[in-house]
């Protein structure tokens, strides 16, 4: 069964499992906000805000200029260090 909220549910569950002050590392496909139906999601500024709600972002190496729309659209996956607030 497809769940369009699965990524947000997984992040919420991980928040519940991590102790206050605990850290996590996340990498997701990055580009302009877009949903490719059931094949992939691209996370941009709007989707990041939802994905990392309740988390404090400690570090990211995101650079939207590295996204290449002519090649592999879901291959750019920068790393995000997050902390439970």
Q: Give the pair of three-digit tokens for residue 83.
A: 């902390």
How far apart are alpha carbons 43 and 50 in whole angstroms?
Answer: 10
What pTM was computed for the model?
Answer: 0.86
CA distance 75 to 26: 15
pLDDT at position 73, please?
A: 85
For the chain, helix (H) and strand (E) counts, in that order, are 2, 5
pLDDT 10s digits, 2-24: 888 999 999 999 999 999 999 99
What are the boundaries of each domain within the chain?
A: 27-66+74-85
Which residues of the chain are modeled with pLDDT < 50?
none
- Count other Cβ atoms within 10 Å, centred on residue 24: 16
Among candidates 9, 77, 74, 76, which has minimal Cα distance to 37? 74
73/30 Cα distance (integer angstroms): 9
Identify the CA nearest to 43 among candidates 71, 7, 85, 3: 7
């Amino acid at each position: 069964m497809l769940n369009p909220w699965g990524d947000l549910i997984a992040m919420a569950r991980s928040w519940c499992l991590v102790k206050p002050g605990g850290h996590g590392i996340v990498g997701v496909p990055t580009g302009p906000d877009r949903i490719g139906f059931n094949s992939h999601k691209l996370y941009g500024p709007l989707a990041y805000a939802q994905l990392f709600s309740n988390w404090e972002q400690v570090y990211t190496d995101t650079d939207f200029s590295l996204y290449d729309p002519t090649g592999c659209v879901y291959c750019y996956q920068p790393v995000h260090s997050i902390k439970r607030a």
